[in-house]
A and B are shown apart, each in its own frame.
Chain A
Amino acid sequence: MRKLIEFQNIVKSFNDSLVLKGINLSIHENEFVTLLGPSGCGKTTLLRILGGFISQNEGHVYFDDIEISNVPPYKREINTVFQRYALFPHMNVFDNVAFGLRIKKQDKNTIEQKVKKMLKLVNLEGYEDRPVTLLSGGQQQRVAIARALVNEPMVLLLDEPLGALDLKLRKEMQIELKKIQQEVGITFIYVTHDQEEALTMSDTIVVMNAGEIQQIGTPTDIYNEPENRFVADFIGESNILEGVMLEDYKVKFDDQVFECIDYGFEDNLEVDIVLRPEDIDIVPIEMGRIKGVIKSSLFKGVHFEVVVETPYREWIIHTTDKVEVDKEVGLHFFPEDIHIMYKMGTY
């Protein structure tokens, strides 16, 4: 795939507080990229720099190999779906969607055809004459998407577009957005703080924290091989512990030595270790690699969230089996379930 957008060393500060600390990132054609991170990590700021609504203090933004830092938003081939939709309340659905085309002075028939086609794509056929203020949140969202896509941009920016919807609608829209992206075949850059949303839709996830990129990778990479404690913690619940990498394939934590599949670290290096709650099994005490007492068990719908206490820590475990509280049990996991990471700031 061709490289479409490149951020080079983007630095941005607001009132002396550094929001972006030198971002380098390339985005390709037809890619669904998600900028994921907690609020205040700079993901929206980066998106707004690309949209042209604010400008960076340092660094360059290239679009199709052309520097666009000084191009105003109305001349960029980029459209945005805003967090609170930002529909024009004094216009009906048709006029909202037709806005961009009318600005470009396209002829009436073309506009009508394109708008109709777009409304069909977002499942809003027959809503042309409705005032947008009378639509539900989900419908307004669809209008916002249609209004942006009708301009046939090369890149669509989406700023937490599903944040205001309820859980069920959000899941439906996730699937629908992914479908729309594949149908129109353009680059989507999606900003969210919801890790599940990011894992469901993205081709590439960019995890950000405190103005820096923590990891770039596919959803499976990010989930299975987080690069540091922050990523592991942010993407789903984890048991994160400290340990020492004794040598290749051998790690020591909680005063025990475990076999693992990681290698290439310095010997005796202090590391962070991730064990996902669903990778740990509760077994009879004699079969466990670690022994502990079940402290609590919470029903979560699909699974139970069980907390097991050992002399060193509390483990979070997801299991579909019902367990007895206060029972002594063993914990079992395989070498490949142990994931070793460099400590933050040491690589």
Chain B
Amino acid sequence: MVGLKKHNFTKFFILIGVLSFFYLPILSLMIFSFNDSRSLTSWSGFSLQWYQALFENREMMTAITTTITIALVSTFVATVMGTLAAIGISKSRRLIKELVLSVNNFPILNPEIVTAIGLMLLYSSLNIEKGFMTMLLAHIIFSTPYVILSVLPRLRRLDPDIAEAALDLGATPLQALWKVIVPMITPGIISGALIAFTMSFDDFVISYFVSGNGVKNISILVYTMSKRINPTINALSTILVVIITIVLLVVNLYPYITKKEIKEAE
């Protein structure tokens, strides 16, 4: 009995250790966003001044808008392109399928810095002025493969007769795609979109190399600020953490809520 308790205690201790290793830095960051002074290590009282400073800092607000705009637009484009590409790949012959998939996996396995430098050189050699559009294009490029990879397994599980059944019942190929195929692979599309969004949202390496003309996303801004760091960054990070937590909660709880509704309906 004593041995068992000791064993349980060890387990508990390890669990707490791991959790605090993961979450203490985030927790400290959140706490010090409410600090009264500029210090990031000693607590001197509660205040919201850093949040105020954040919303008054025009540079920072622009960076946030840029980040969110690029994340939303690139996610949308990558999701549509990736989904259509995945459907096309799933219908192609084996050889073409394998070829396209290898091409698709390459940017994922490739170190980000290589993609970044490559894109930078491409834009320079084509004399394209770097800025918002180049960054947007780069984000679409690196997130599309992830959408394809998350949609394909769903398509693989799809009964091939399903699409034919839709055609058989009078649906044109486009109607079959929209009314039958897309709803059935929606979970894959959503997870692909979520991956694309997070990839775009916190990307630094590629964005840093393909941006210019003073266009900055949050990561670039934080990087340039890090020499003269102040708790505005903490305030910004806290807001991001809260948003991400809410999104994760919704995504994970959504299936339970709908399932409950189905059960109640029966």
Query: Which residues of A line the B interface, CB within 8 A?
Result: 51-53, 72-74, 78-80, 82-84, 86-90, 99-100, 103-104, 129, 131, 147-148, 151
Contacts and interface: CB of A to CB of B under 8 A. Distances in A.
A74 B169 CA distance: 6
B162 A151 contact: no
Interface string B146-185: 0000000000000101101111111110010001100110
B262 interface: yes
Given A74-B170, A74-B172, A131-B262, A82 B164 contact: yes
Interface in B49-104: none
Interface of B: 159, 161-162, 164-172, 175, 179-180, 183-184, 262, 265
A100 B170 contact: yes
Nearest to B168: A80
Given A86-B161, A103-B175, A74 B180 contact: no
Given A89-B184, A90-B184, A131-B262, A82 B165 contact: yes
Given A51-B168, A82-B161, A104-B170, 8 more contacts: A72-B167, A80-B168, A82-B164, A84-B161, A86-B159, A86-B161, A88-B184, A103-B175
Contacts of A131: 262
A88 B170 contact: no
A79 B171 CA distance: 12
Contacts of B164: 51, 53, 73, 80, 82, 86
B167 to A, nearest CB: 4
A129 B164 CA distance: 24
B229 to A, nearest CB: 50
Contacts of A104: 170
A50 to B, nearest CB: 11
B168 A79 contact: yes
14 contacts: A73-B164, A74-B170, A79-B168, A80-B164, A80-B168, A82-B164, A83-B161, A84-B159, A87-B165, A90-B184, A99-B171, A129-B265, A148-B168, A151-B169
